[in-house]
Amino acid sequence: MPKNNLFAPGAYDPTHRHHDHAHHHHSHCGLCRIELENISVTSGGETLLQDVYMHIHCGQLTALVGPNGAGKTTLIRALLSQIPYSGAIHHIDDRERPLRTVRTGYVPQQLPFDKQMPVTVTDFIAASLTNRPVWTGIGRKTRQQVQEALALAQAEKLANRQLGQLSGGELQRVLLAMALTPTPDLLILDEPVSGVDQNGLMLFLDTVEQLKHSRHMAILLVSHDWSLVSRYADQMVLLNKSILCAGTPETVFACETFREAFPASAKEGK
């Protein structure tokens, strides 16, 4: 599996990750990897994360696994700078220089919301793309952008459907389309499994895998589905407050700590 060296020296062209794409509206150098160094998070005297040290590489899908309450969501919130943490998160570009900012696309866990809301998929995505309030209507340019976003997640047909009427898998695609627009450097998929059938999930992750190659994104996937993880993940990290085991999925599945954390699934597996 090629890792950091995918970027040729000619890669200073700020748009090099987007050859195949018509839009070059953001101009930063390519992210190469994200380094988490001694990340600790405490809340109300309780340690949620302790000295987490991990790398997330571009062009790779890193699976984050761990028992309930292991701090997976906390880690994601730290990555999104939504909570205070100690330690450092470095974004390193392909010339080993630090990057000030990276774009993060986030596909959240599906939360309950009002399914009767008269809001279409186009309304919802447009709300994230423009400042023009969507109740005044949606301009042609924005509509076009929404279509392009949906196309990335193979969800063009959902544009005029109401958000609350989508199936779990369809909503997943819409959320992916949003996370991909504008093109992120890091894509975080927070347990996209819940409420989606196995077929829909494979289709979803196939799309993600294609993007991983074509856009050379770093992808972090939180999942408990071992068959999916072993099929799609390049790297795997077992977290329980701190990192217990990391490496390729095979390495982690073989870890003593993994078998202790998930005794039942380890037996089923290998």
- Residue ranges in contact with another protein by CB under 8 A: 80, 82, 104-106, 108-111, 113-114, 116-120, 122-124, 126-128, 130-138, 162-163, 175, 178, 188, 190
Query: Judged by CB, which is closer to another protein: 68, or 131?
Result: 131
User: Rounded to the nearest whole angstrom, what is the least distance from the CB of residue 133 to another protein in the complex?
Assistant: 4
Query: Judged by CB, which is closer to another protein: 9, or 118?
Result: 118
Distance CA 130, CA 163 (A): 18
Residue 236 has, within 13 A of its CA and on its CB side, a CA count of 24
- Give the DSSP letter of residue 244: E
Query: Judged by CB, which is closer to another protein: 40, or 110?
Result: 110
Question: In the structure encoding, which two tokens stand for residue 229, read together?
Answer: 């993880």
**What residues contact 13, with CB distance under 8 A and at least 6 apart?**
none
Query: Judged by CB, which is closer to another protein: 1, or 111?
Result: 111
User: Rounded to the nearest whole angstrom, what is the least distance from the CB of residue 259 to another protein in the complex?
Assistant: 32
Q: SS3 for 203?
A: helix
User: Rounded to the nearest whole angstrom, what is the least distance from the CB of residue 51 to another protein in the complex?
Assistant: 25
Q: Identify whether the C-beta of residue 183 lies closer than 8 Å to the C-beta of residue 21.
A: yes
Query: Judged by CB, which is closer to another protein: 187, or 238?
Result: 187
Q: Give, rounded to a whole angstrom, the gap between the first and last alpha carbons of the chain.
A: 23
Angle at which helices 168-179 and 198-215 cross, to 10°: 10
Strand-strand pairing, 186-190 and 104-107:
parallel
User: Rounded to the nearest whole angstrom, what is the least distance from the CB of residue 83 to another protein in the complex?
Assistant: 10
User: Rounded to the nearest whole angstrom, what is the least distance from the CB of residue 153 to another protein in the complex?
Assistant: 15
User: Rounded to the nearest whole angstrom, what is the least distance from the CB of residue 36 to another protein in the complex?
Assistant: 18
Distance CA 242, CA 238 (A): 9
Specify burial of residue 115 (Cβ count, 10 A radius: 0-12, 13-18, 19+): exposed
Query: Judged by CB, which is closer to another protein: 120, or 207?
Result: 120
